[in-house]
Structure 1
Amino acid sequence: MEERGSGHRTVCVTGGAGYLGSSLVKKLLEKGHTVHATLRNLDDQSKVGLLKNFPEANTKLRLFKADIYNPDEFNPAIQGCDFVFHVATPYQNNTQSSQYKDTTEAAVAAVDSIVKSCVRSGTVKRLIYTGTVMAASALKEDGSGFKDSMDETCWTPLTLQINYNTSQFVKDYTNSKTISEKKLLNYECKVIKLEVVSLACGLVGGDTVLSYIPQSVACLMPQPLNDPISYQSLEFLQELMGKVPIVHIDDVCEAHIFCMDQRSLQGRFLCASDFLTTKEIADYFCRYHPEISIPEQLIGRHGSAVCWGSTKLNDLGFKHWYDAKLILEDSLQCLRKMGKFK
């Protein structure tokens, strides 16, 4: 597919201070684009200071207050933009808000409001949504097991019960991301004159510009961290998908920008570079980092026979630069930087 020119654009990144959002903002600024980044609280100097200290931020970055629980607040940030990256998502329900009963209602309302803001702007060509492979399980609807492969046609069947002990938060997150992504992709794009792209990303690992361990890195690394709670989430992912799709933060950012750079693009694309079991992750650290002791109860399990069958993004010309080894090593380096290991 032919790419657009490499001219500088004005783009909006919702959730600009999160793990992916902050890395994406930094990379967009480095490439010369003007970035409108949204934060829930402009008085949070730790987040504001992080973004304002990026190279080129003094001339190329504008910060806007916007909260998923007040979705109309995104409108000013979107005005005048060429592309919008919708990264923000509610992780836990805001009990102080009576507007939505749960995170799913909040996420769907935000998608609806942001689409309308893009259309009203008259300038936004494409909305690129950050989805998750948790919405793309290859489980069969009848509960009889997995399909042979996992690709863009797979949708997590929300009527099934995943019989693995994990927090209600993880299950609610899976539901909200699945339903909001379906809502987004069901818009009649030709009618609203807006291209809509969804990038369903694997579990993201690697380094971070943040001063703390991102939640997705903790979820990928519970075995070396000896973190039983995060380990439950990792096992849930395997139970949901057969194996755990993983991807490096740099590849995720580049995939978002790649989707922006195409002359015309819409639809759903899965984004992951490897597909591992919890046992394979533990085995890697046991083999290459014997100094890290992994408790027996976190040693992992073999997964199902489902394979990674998605090639849509690669068929367009996108290349993942980080394999499983690099993802795990960079994630470990992130933990060391945070003082978890010597």
Structure 2
Amino acid sequence: MTSRSISAMEEKGGRGSGHRTVCVTGGAGYLGSSLVKKLLQKGHTVHATLRNLDDQSKVGLLKSFPEANTKLRLFKADIYNPDEFNTAIQGCDFVFHVATPLQSNTQSSQYKDTTEAAVAAVESIVKSCIRSGTVKRLIYTGSVVAASPLKEDGSGFKDSMDESCWTPLNLPINYYGFETLKDYTYSKTISEKKLLSYACKENKMELVSLACGLVGGDTVLSYISGSIACLMSQPLNDPISYQSLEFLQELMGKVPIVHIDDVCEAHIFCMDQRSLQGIFLFASDFLSTKEIADYFCLYHPEICIAEEFHGRNGSEVRWGSTKLNDVGFKPNYDAKLILEDSLQFLRKMGSFK
């Protein structure tokens, strides 16, 4: 694995390595915490938002990062109270909107479901960015679940999956009884459409949506995130997480996967460009659940995967997105490295010997 040359990135249109002030919403989550750490390492000042500043496990994690004493500021902000993000955004050059509601907040009477909350947060954050007068670009952490290649008429999949695809919201997809999966798919799809509508209406700053595949790899967290649990559900023999993995294949034909380090670097790459906007799908590989299980059976026979988790072949749909590659970003991690690093993390957590 080779590291990307910073100077080469700058030659391809980057802003260079100047230090900036940036906001990361959802700064203590799986992706947010790794992004905060990497931004601090690169010398940027980071405004990170958390739902609860009294949660010492999350606050302590972020404050433990190198340079946090001088370059990290923490702000309380909750998706279900989207106006709270305004203070964290003030004075920032760039905003990474990573936070997203996964389950409906039953204590909130303001929004009936996660979709309403997510859309309201996008609206509020975009307006805060515009009001700030300093934010040059909002980079939204999207998801490939918003870009399903399923045809609108329900007759199967398109030939390829790329930025022209939008997940149809009126298809009788089997959600295996998990309303959270449906709510998450709806909220990410509608939120991204809402975000892009501002690109047409306001045109006062650039808007980027980085729609990421299922994220794996090591993490700074001390627990197993839902994303890693889903990706590694077969070697874990975890029926609930495996149903989520099968849902992704049903939605997209196969499962797009990507390494967390590449995701963080891609976010920063999107910040570093002189000018960039629009949707960019991002995955390093596109695997069926059978291919994932076959990998572990072949290279890690010590891990016993039960028959019901051996997966199935995906559809013939191919990964057709090249936009991020075309503007100069190349991922460092292939499928093997993604799966191996995810396994190494699980071993560190004591899931395997």
What range describes the TM-score normalised by the shorter chain of this pair?
over 0.9
Q: How far is 1:164 from its partner?
A: 5.0
Q: Alignment partner for residue 298 of structure 1, among 283, 293, 309?
A: 309
State the alpha-carbon separation in 1 of the partners of residues 332 and 213 from structure 2.
Answer: 15
- Partner of 1:103 in structure 2? 114
Q: How far is 1:161 from its partner?
A: 1.3
Q: How far is 1:6 from its partner?
A: 1.5
- Partner of 1:215 in structure 2? 226
Q: Is 2:70 aligned against 1:70? A: no
- Partner of 2:55 in structure 1? 44
Q: How far is 1:188 from its partner?
A: 3.8
Q: Is 2:222 aligned against 1:202? A: no
Q: How far is 1:190 from its partner?
A: 6.9
Q: Percent same amino acid among aligned pairs?
A: 85
Task: Find the residue that maps to 1:124 and give its secondary structure.
Answer: coil
Q: Is 2:254 aligned against 1:243? A: yes
Task: Find the residue that maps to 2:248 and give its secondary structure.
Answer: helix
Q: How far is 1:189 from its partner?
A: 4.9
State the alpha-carbon separation in 2 of the partners of residues 132 and 257 from structure 1.
Answer: 17
Q: Which runs of 5+ in 2 are unaligned?
A: 1-11
- Partner of 1:13 in structure 2? 24
Asked if the contact 1:91/1:169 (under 8 Å) is kept, the reply is: yes
Asked if the contact 2:199/2:206 (under 8 Å) is kept, the reply is: no
State the alpha-carbon separation in 2 of the partners of residues 225 and 167 from structure 1.
Answer: 20
User: 1:19-38 counterparts in 2 under 5 A?
Assistant: 19-38=30-49
User: 1:170-189 counterparts in 2 under 5 A?
Assistant: 170-189=181-200
Q: Is 2:268 aligned against 1:257? A: yes
Residue identity matched to 1:39: L
Deviations 1:75-129 (A, max 9, x none): 0000000000000000111111100000000000000000000000000000000
State the alpha-carbon separation in 2 of the partners of residues 65 and 28 from structure 1.
Answer: 20
With normalisation by structure 1, the TM-score equals 0.99
Aligned length: 342
- Partner of 1:149 in structure 2? 160
- Partner of 2:7 in structure 1? none
- Partner of 1:233 in structure 2? 244
Q: How far is 1:163 from its partner?
A: 2.6
Task: Find the residue that maps to 2:209 and give its secondary structure.
Answer: strand
Q: Alignment partner for residue 269 of structure 1, among 280, 304, 325?
A: 280
Q: Is 2:294 aligned against 1:288? A: no
Deviations 1:1-49 (A, max 9, x none): 5111210000000000000000000000000000000000000000000
State the alpha-carbon separation in 1 of the partners of residues 180 and 13 from structure 2.
Answer: 41
Q: Is 2:141 aligned against 1:130? A: yes
Q: Alignment partner for residue 150 of structure 2, among 139, 155, 159?
A: 139
Asked if the contact 1:119/1:192 (under 8 Å) is kept, the reply is: no
State the alpha-carbon separation in 2 of the partners of residues 109 and 307 from structure 1.
Answer: 34
- Partner of 1:329 in structure 2? 340
Superposition CA RMSD, Å = 0.9
State the alpha-carbon separation in 2 of the partners of residues 336 and 126 from structure 1.
Answer: 39
State the alpha-carbon separation in 1 of the partners of residues 61 and 239 from structure 2.
Answer: 31
Residue identity matched to 1:162: I
- Partner of 1:88 in structure 2? 99
- Partner of 1:54 in structure 2? 65
User: 1:157-172 counterparts in 2 under 5 A?
Assistant: 157-172=168-183
State the alpha-carbon separation in 2 of the partners of residues 133 and 166 from structure 1.
Answer: 21
